[in-house]
Structure 1
Amino acid sequence: MAQLPLTTLFILLAVLVVLSAFFSSSETGLVALNRYRLRHQVGKGHRGARLAQRLLAKPDRMFGLILLGNNLINILAASIATVIALRLLGEGGIWVSTLALTLVILIFAEVAPKTLAALFPERIAYPASYVLTPLLRVLYPAVWLVNLMAATLLRPFGVKKQGLHQDSLSREELRTLVKEGGRQISLDHRQMLINILDLEHGTVDDVMVPRQDIVGIDLDADWDDIMQALTGSIYTRMPVWRGDLDHIVGLLHIRTIISRLIQNRLDRDGLLKAVRSPYFVPEGTPLTQQMLEFQSRERRLALVVDEYGDIQGLVTLDDILEEIVGEYTTEGGGRQKLIRKLEDGGWIIDGGATLRMLNRRLDWELPTSGAKTVNGLILEHLESLPDGRTSLKIGNQIFTIVDMVDKRIRKVKVKELTPNT
């Protein structure tokens, strides 16, 4: 090396700095890759992504190769810089070469390339994988020896080489990932994906129509009243009973009798023949499970019963789907007016509105572990039937009862507290 011209030495030093920058940027680029995007591109047949995935599958070998190459290059660069300094400045130039090379390596072989790789990992990691993969085959014995010695050194400290790490996300982590999807996913689609994840926490109790609000057909009623209920109904599916809901007969789809109803040929026997057997589900059934049950049984409506078999409410497939996509159906249009915004910023809310729906639509944090509706929540906190206009604070909201019917809270006014209130 002492006989080489200075020009050649400078060229060699420049080449070594470039190679050092290559190894440094390769390391950062591979580590900064989005693992889920990487899997997607591997599935699409991207060769660079496939090579990068193989390198990342065994990180000890990948880091061993990169660090081995980087250190060899940096040490060789230091030796060449020392020779150049001795020729130009004598023995006093050693300090100059050390400082100068440190600055050059730091800027051109570390900070700049690593920053670039962190900003554009795919542009750096994928091309680098084409070089690192065959290089690993050539230098594998040296890499294996280095890793073996490092593992032996760490063993007394209880550090052991683990198996292949599988990237996985919990439900909450996946929720955060979807929520922060940014411009890659539209706001509406992000919200639907989040609602699907949140569906796991809900039960049929959260979305069912309470027993007292169920609208149906009483076969013991006068025929004129039955006809009025059929022709004036806003629902396409209705439960049918005798006397009261505890004596349920079945479920009726208006479509099965519409032709006879239009031709005025419907009678009690024809109505009874159109009634389908009732479908019961236990309270507390998770919404995800119930949606699959509706699908497998080809049903869209079920009656929710408690442990004693008493009917507590009614749940439909539309109720569950609305938990995902929001309110979309015109069936039961009255139920869509559960919330009305006031000019002063407050809300008029129906007592039968579910807490889960309010939390989702208004971004509130009302407790859902106990009562499921506004009516139940207020009674739970008061521990008695309210007398007249009563106000109470629950969480960050002030609830004021404005209307009661038959010991049930029909309407409440809700005012959200400001931080300074």
Structure 2
Amino acid sequence: MDDISTSVLVGILVLMIAISAFFSSSETGMMSLNRYRLKHLVKNNHRSAKRTDALLKRTDRLISLILIGNNLVNILASAIATVVGLRWFPNYGLAITTIGLTLIILIFAEVTPKTMAALYPERFAFTSSWVLSPLMKVLFPVIWLINSISNVLLLLFGMNPKKAATSALNPEELRTVVNEAGTLIPRRHQDMLLSILDLEHVSVDDIMVPRNDIAGIDINDEWESILKQLAHTSHTRLLLFRDSIDDAVGFVHARDALRLLVKEQFDKTTLLRAVKEIYFIPENTPLNIQLGKFQRRKERIGLIVDEYGDIQGLVTLEDILEEIVGDFTTTISPTPSEEIHPQPDGSYIIEGTTNIRDLNKELGWALPTDGPRTLNGLIVEYLEDIPKSPVGMRIAGYPIEVLEIDNNAIRQARIMPQFYQNIELSQ
């Protein structure tokens, strides 16, 4: 380098620092890319995205290429800087060069370009892919040799470099992604996506219509009474049974009943011929599984039975869909809002039949849901007895006061939100 002028060496040094900055920003940009957005762009035939994705499929080779380039230019820059430093400062050139070059590389070739690439990863990764792709082909023999040696060392430590870490998200990670989407996904759509993820944690028992609330027709009733029930029903499907729901015959669609009503010969025999076979559902079936079963069997309604075959309740396809999209405006059964009555003092008077999950969802509470499914059941389980008179307690930090009891069941209770915990209730 003695024959090369100092100005030329300085120019080469600046070029080496610029190339070092390129490799540094390329590494950060490639590693900071959103892989799911990259896959989306690849599916849309984005040329730069496809080229970048091809490089990222073998991350070990990409890192080797970047490090080879970065180390080569840094070492060359160090040698040039040493020569320039000794020419300018013969006595202290080495010390000044070491300190000065370190600061220059840190600022201009490392920190600044990497920060910029972290802020705009797509811009830097896609641009650098134009250079890295041909370099990968040119330097492939060197890269292969270095990777082979490196892979042997990794195997000695019990690591297999060919087994790339999976980028798949588990449900909890996907839930975090949805929550962190912010304004990219409307709040209502976020709620729907989260509800879909929750389907596997909710069973048909949590959303079923209890057997005592199932709307049905006793086929052994007087014919006039049956006709009146058919004419005034607000349900599209009715359960037919003999004397008791346990002796269920089947479901009849209101549309079929109306079609039969216009015929001259419409009696119990004709009505029974219009009955559709009952679809039975085992208790504790997760909603995601039941939704698939409804779809495969082309069913929309079923009766839930326990391990002894006793009917526990009824669930419909609409009930499962409401868990995802919220209540439909056509819902006939009482909604949680109709069972929850806000009071001027900030408390709530709630019907004992209110589903605890619906209560938590509507008011943002955290009453326990791993046991009884209704408020009545929760209180009875806590007291280990059916109260005979109004009584107060505290469950999961919520002060609760039983107001009305009827037929061995709690009809109404008052619940204070958790910020009313300083209110003392008699036990």
Which interval holds the TM-score relative to the shorter structure? Answer: over 0.9
Q: Specify whether residues 49 and 246 from structure 1 end up closer, same or farther in structure 2 by C-alpha distance, changes over 3 A only.
A: same
Which sits farther off after the overlay, 233-242 or 390-399? 390-399
Deviations 1:77-109 (CA, angstroms, capped at 9, x unpaired): 111111111222213122222222111111111
Q: Distance in 2 between matches of 1:301 and 1:93?
A: 87
Matches within 5 A, 1:2-81: 2-81=2-81
Kindly state the Cα deviation for residue 341 of structure 1 after the two structures are TM-superposed.
2.9
Matches within 5 A, 1:9-408: 9-261=9-261, 266-336=266-336, 337-408=338-409
Deviation of residue 385 (structure 1)?
0.7
Identity %: 46
1:64 Cα offset (Å): 1.0
Task: Confirm or deny: 8 A CA contact 1:236 1:331 kept in the other structure.
Answer: no
CA distance in 1 between partners of 2:378 and 2:257 (Å): 40
Q: Is contact 1:234-1:331 (8 Å) kept?
A: no
Query: Which residue of the partner structure matches residue 416 of structure 2?
Result: 415
Deviations 1:24-46 (A, max 9, x none): 00101111111111111111111
- Residues 218 and 418 of structure 1: is their aligned pair in 2 closer, same or farther, counting only changes over 3 Å? same
Q: Secondary structure at the match of 1:19?
A: helix
Q: How far apart in 1 are the matches of 2:87 and 2:420?
A: 72
Deviates more, 1:25-34 or 1:244-253: 244-253
Deviation per CA, 1:12-32: give whole Å up to 9, x if none: 111111110100001011111
Give the secondary structure class of the aligned counterpart of 2:315: strand
Where in structure 1 are there 5+ consecutive unaligned residues?
A: none
CA distance in 1, matches of 2:365, 2:284: 23
Equivalents in 1 of 2:420, 2:116: separation in Å? 43
In structure 1, C-alpha distance between the alignment counterparts of 2:376 and 2:421, rounded to whole Å: 28
Segment drifting more, 35-44 vs 393-402: 393-402
1:333 deviates by 4.2
Q: Which stretch has the larger CA shift, 358-367 or 126-135? A: 358-367
CA 420–359 in structure 1, closer or farther in 2 if over 3 Å, else same: closer
Q: Count the aligned residue pairs.
A: 421
- 2:349 and 2:250 map into 1 onto residues whose CA distance is 35
In the aligned structure 2, how far is the partner of 1:137 from the partner of 1:66?
A: 13
Question: How big is the shift at 1:170?
Answer: 1.1
Greater Cα shift, 409-418 or 150-159: 150-159
Please give the alpha-carbon distance, in whole angstroms, between the structure 2 residues aligned to 1:395 and 1:343: 23
CA distance in 2, matches of 1:268, 1:155: 78
Tell me if structure 1 keeps the 8 A contact 2:399–2:420. Answer: no
Question: Equivalent residue of 1:2, what SS?
Answer: coil
Shift of 1:402: 2.1
Report the secondary structure of 2:334's partner residue: helix
Give distance in 2, aligned partners of 1:419 and 1:14: 68
Tell me how far apart the structure 1 counterparts of residues 292 and 392 of structure 2 sit (CA, whole Å): 41
1:348 and 1:151 mapped to 2: Cα distance? Answer: 67
Distance 1:17 1:419, change over 3 A: farther
Instruction: State the 1:153 CA deviation.
Output: 4.2
Q: Distance in 2 between matches of 1:346 and 1:373?
A: 19
Residue 131 (structure 1) shift = 1.0
Q: Displacement, 1:267? A: 3.5
After superposition, what is the alpha-carbon deviation per residue over 1:265-314, rounded to whole angstroms, capped at 9, x for unaligned?
Answer: 75433333322222211111111121122222222111111111111111
Distance 2:190 2:240 in 1: 40
- What displacement does 1:173 show? 1.1
CA distance in 2, matches of 1:181, 1:265: 61
| Compared CA separation, residues 225 and 400, structure 1 to 2 (3 A) | farther
Three-state SS of the structure 2 residue aligned to 1:393 is strand
- Once structures 1 and 2 are overlaid, which stretch shifts more, 258-267 or 393-402? 258-267
Match of 2:425 in 1: none
TM-score, length of structure 2 as denominator length: 0.92
Q: Is the 8 A contact 2:357 2:373 kept in 1?
A: yes
TM-aligned CA deviation for residue 233 of structure 1: 2.1
Q: Is the 8 A contact 2:85 2:96 kept in 1?
A: yes
Deviations 1:114-165 (A, max 9, x none): 0011111000011111211111111122222223333444554444434233
Structure 1 stretch 388-397 or stretch 297-306: which is displaced more?
Answer: 388-397
Which AA in structure 2 matches 1:290?
Q
TM-score normalised to structure 1 length:
0.94
Pairwise CA distance, 1:74: 0.7
Which stretches in structure 2 are left out of the alignment for 5+ residues?
Answer: 423-427
Partner-residue secondary structure (3-state), 1:165: coil
How big is the alpha-carbon RMSD for the aligned residues of Structure 1 and Structure 2? 2.1
Q: 1:233 to 1:301 in 2, by over 3 A?
A: same
Instruction: For 1:343 and 1:242, locate their aligned partners in 2 and report how far apart those are by CA, in whole Å.
Output: 47
Q: Deviation of residue 397 (structure 1)?
A: 1.9
Q: Please say if residues 318 and 329 of structure 1, whose CA atoms lie closer than 8 Å, have aligned partners that are also in contact.
A: no
2:24–2:109: 8 Å Cα contact kept in structure 1?
yes
Tell me the SS of whatever aligns to 1:281. strand
1:163-218 Cα offsets, whole Å, 9 max, x none, are 23321111111111112111111100010000001001111101001111112111
Measured in 1, the distance between the counterparts of 2:281 and 2:41 equals: 44
